[in-house]
Structure 1
Amino acid sequence: MDYSHVRDVDPAVADALSGEVERQQNTLAMIASENHASEAVLEAQGSALTNKYAEGYPDERYYAGCEYADEVEELAIERAEELWGAEHVNVQPHSGSQANMSVYLAMLDPGDKILSLDLTHGGHLSHGHPANFAGQTYEVEQYEVDADTGYVDYEGLDDIAHEFDPDIIVSGYSAYPREVEWERIQETADDVDAYHLADIAHITGLVAAGAHSSPVGVADFVTGSTHKTIRAGRGGIVMCDEEHADAIDAAVFPGAQGGPLMHNIAGKAVGFGEALSAEFDAYAEQTVKNAQALADRLQENGLSLVSGGTDNHLVLVDLRPSHPETTGKDVEAALDAAGIVMNANTVPGETRSAFDPSGIRLGTPALTTRGFDEAATREVADLITRVIDDYDDEEVVEEVSARVDELADEHPLYE
């Protein structure tokens, strides 16, 4: 990638940018929330729209000169409505967390009640963790996954909801490998007269392509990220029925943020356009197939998976049954040294610190973007297992690293 203009002005930053491209090319990205955007998306995000303030919404801006900003945002909205079948879409949130914040601001008062999945069981910070604005502003109770099955305990959720009487129930998760039963959670929300927010941050692209069931038209609000499985400009999105459109729009701007990042919205528009293609549907289907191939091979190799497999793009490995003395951070560091980039993660029933947990989380979106199929993904699973088995053996790590280099060369990123 050409950073010649940056190099003319700031060689140090140009070196870092070039180094990052090289790092991505020469390593295998398996952080479940990461992907590789197309050069078209990157170009749109680096466009002259970086220069433009466009506070407000199309045809209702607070500044002049927004005709092209309006055109780009309207394209992003129209394409999102087509992708997810939503009545109303707001594409301005800077992130998935700010999308969630906007729903809370629109529908809740400080001190109102949120019911969400516990972070150590696969939830997200913005669903009510005490370190996050949501946990500091609202009263939060949390449900869990079943310790034996690894699936969401829907009966337990229903029991807690009837006892806690929440104002909003949050579904959708950041480390949950199974399909979410949106209708079942909606039934509970209806029973206790609560709103239902479905956060599809991780599976936005899978839902758009029909590779995962959709909460649009089921839940009252659907939020998501636009840069994970959907591969568009980095940011967030909110979807809802027309009934709540004005409240959501006011909560996004001016409630949660000021001027929109119009260059990111351009990236969203381009990425959404790419996602409307048959090629993207095939990509999403392959992402799930690769995750299932990864899960099957890891289990064949003796590793224990939360819920025993996956229905989506990620696999959650519990190291305790097979490697009780090994922590997620041990594995994360060794795999990083070998060129496989993933993250340590808590697992249900976690017995260690969240900073050095008992599990690892692996995802296939970025590998699939690079053209990995099930066979190549199974080989990656074997490499991962080798490192887990001997994470402190430098020779093993070096051997795995050499094969990772070959796989990276066989699947070039930006040619």
Structure 2
Amino acid sequence: MATANTPDFNKVLYAPLAEIDPEVKNIIDKETWRQLTGLELIASENLTSRAAMEANGSILTNKYSEGLPNARYYGGNEYVDELEILCRKRALQAFNLDPAKWGVNVQPYSGSTANFAALTALIQPNDRLMGLGLPDGGHLTHGYYTAKKKMTASSIYFQSFPYSIVPDTGLIDYPKLEATAKVFKPRLIICGASAYPRDWDYEHLKKIATQEGAWLMADIAHTSGLVAAAELKNPFDYCDVVTTTTHKTLRGPRAGLIFFRKDLENAKDLEKRVNEAVFPACQGGPHNNTIAAIATALKQVADPSWKAYAKQVIANARALADALVAHGYKLQTGGTDNHLVLWDLRPIGLTGSKVEKVCDFMGITINKNAVSGDASAQVPGGIRLGTSALTSRDMREDDIKQVAEFLHRAVQISLVLQKEAGSKLLKDFARVATTPEEGKVGHQQVKALRDEVQAFAQKFPLPGVETANFKKPEGLHEYF
């Protein structure tokens, strides 16, 4: 205990954040305000529950627990073991999996680390793998590389060859994939994507993998919540390993899961290989607070209301797609089967970078995204939109049609700004969007739409926040 002559160096451990670190508290408040007053349309984001946030911010963050339940390298893990076993059980229940046939590792820190751990378990360095190419909607961790550089660990440590979509339809080219696999002879085929608006033919993929003696792995990071609700095809019927994030359509904290078959005749040790690939091969002690939040999110997935949520996510995505098509815009594949829409802006002469930027000014959060045929991921010709987060704010089809109208107006304003900028540079585009200049109208149009978006967004609840009592914080980035 501190005395009059010795400082109480533990005093900081008991005071609230607002008292100890008002700067960080202000930043958190500003981000809360941004989410409350904006429209979140990034397909890889969602709004987790208050309960999951409470679990993620719990005292479990204090505990180290390297190893697996009942086989830890530290003492004091009896309750952490109980938690991790519960989380595993709920993960299997969420996807209606038989624990005699499937197991799961709930320790990965993210989807990317889950994928690399899965690759470490399944194949050897320099083995061959095939995944959907990034410009066609695939993910960086599925073997992406460019002509000049191997971009991620999956292409640095393994030999990868991408498969593609049919340019005219935007759909996976399964016959070409099958023909390429006969020549390339992969040890692993990865299915799943980060920007593909349609479902997958897992049966066909299993046939191809079997023909080539390859593993089949599904990365359902984007669609796992919809798969759990049985609104999309089930990869567990055909795949050897299934990975997912927990924060997208699954609406949990930011983390990853690896599901693995336990009943394979040719790989009785797959469970051991996956577990050892996670720890000690690819990461250290698990984040027990995050595992608690995963368990809480998975309990919510088991509730009957989850299927209604998943149905609404898809209904909202289709409403968004239909509204954009009605305005004459081009969408890759012409629509969607899941939570996302990929909008091709090239026919109207805009880049995804410019539309993302102007939408940021308006409080609409989207991301630029490559569309089939793009040469640059930094200046792509499209944007990706998702409806998971807006559905979590209780939006329905009529609300989404209003969001589509905002997006239409944002694009039309972008065309005005592009003309007023007088150059192709993004910095000039941003300047005319945020700075009043005589004889130019784009700036005022951006500001007016920003005000409408903020008023509209605040009509809807924000999970985990008592919005009625939340005040506008100081120090916000004011573009106008």
Larger radius of gyration: 2
**Which amino acid in the other structure matches residue 101 of structure 1?**
F
Unaligned runs of 5+ in 1: none
State the Cα distance separating 1:399 from its structure 2 match. Answer: 2.5
Q: Deviations over 1:90-144 (max 9, x none)?
A: 1001111111111111111110001111101001111112210111000010111
Matched, 1:283 2:294: no
Which of residues 380, 385, 406 in structure 1 aligns to 2:455? 406
Point out the more displaced range, 394-403 or 306-315: 394-403
Match of 1:197 in 2: 217
Which of residues 19, 29, 50 in structure 1 aligns to 2:40? 29
Q: Distance in 2 between matches of 1:282 and 1:101?
A: 33
Matched, 1:365 2:388: yes
Q: Distance in 2 between matches of 1:208 and 1:126?
A: 23
Q: Distance in 2 between matches of 1:176 and 1:399?
A: 33
Which of residues 161, 186, 207 in structure 2 aligns to 1:166? 186
Which of residues 318, 322, 328 in structure 2 aligns to 1:302? 328
Match of 1:240 in 2: 260
Give secondary structure in 1 for the equivalent of 2:129.
strand
Q: Distance in 2 between matches of 1:278 and 1:31?
A: 26
Asked whether the 8 Å contact 1:170–1:197 carries over to 2, the reply is: yes
Match of 1:271 in 2: 297
**Which amino acid in the other structure matches residue 91 of structure 1?**
V
Match of 1:96 in 2: 111
Match of 1:344 in 2: 368
Give secondary structure in 2 for the equivalent of 1:350.
coil
**Which amino acid in the other structure matches residue 49 of structure 2?**
S
Which of residues 379, 386, 396 in structure 2 aligns to 1:356? 379
Q: Distance in 1 between matches of 2:380 and 2:253?
A: 31
Asked whether the 8 Å contact 1:26–1:409 carries over to 2, the reply is: yes
Asked whether the 8 Å contact 1:301–1:382 carries over to 2, the reply is: no
Asked whether the 8 Å contact 1:91–1:238 carries over to 2, the reply is: yes
Matched, 1:135 2:161: no
Match of 1:176 in 2: 196
Q: Distance in 2 between matches of 1:192 and 1:259?
A: 36
State the Cα distance separating 1:39 from its structure 2 match. Answer: 0.8
Point out the more displaced range, 64-73 or 4-13: 4-13
Matched, 1:74 2:85: yes
Q: Distance in 2 between matches of 1:225 and 1:34?
A: 11
Match of 2:477 in 1: none
Q: Distance in 1 between matches of 2:20 and 2:61?
A: 18
Q: Distance in 2 between matches of 1:65 and 1:217?
A: 39
Matched, 1:319 2:330: no
**Which amino acid in the other structure matches residue 184 of structure 2?**
F
**Which amino acid in the other structure matches residue 139 of structure 1?**
Q
Unaligned runs of 5+ in 2: 1-14, 145-149, 263-267, 418-441, 467-480
Asked whether the 8 Å contact 1:234–1:267 carries over to 2, the reply is: no
Match of 2:410 in 1: 387
Once superposed, what is the RMSD of the aligned Cα atoms? 1.2
Matched, 1:330 2:354: yes
Give secondary structure in 2 for the equivalent of 1:282.
helix
**Which amino acid in the other structure matches residue 272 of structure 2?**
D
Which of residues 105, 109, 120 in structure 1 aligns to 2:120? 105
**Which amino acid in the other structure matches residue 71 of structure 2?**
E
Give secondary structure in 2 for the equivalent of 1:142.
coil
State the Cα distance separating 1:217 from its structure 2 match. Answer: 2.8
Matched, 1:40 2:55: no
Q: Distance in 1 between matches of 2:215 and 2:129?
A: 10
Matched, 1:9 2:20: yes
Give secondary structure in 2 for the equivalent of 1:216.
helix
Q: Distance in 1 between matches of 2:103 and 2:374?
A: 39
TM-score of the pair, normalised by structure 2: 0.84
Q: Distance in 1 between matches of 2:198 and 2:445?
A: 32
State the Cα distance separating 1:255 from its structure 2 match. Answer: 1.3
Match of 2:136 in 1: 121
State the Cα distance separating 1:22 from its structure 2 match. Answer: 1.0
Matched, 1:84 2:95: yes
Percent of matched pairs sharing the same residue: 42
Q: Distance in 2 between matches of 1:35 and 1:220?
A: 28
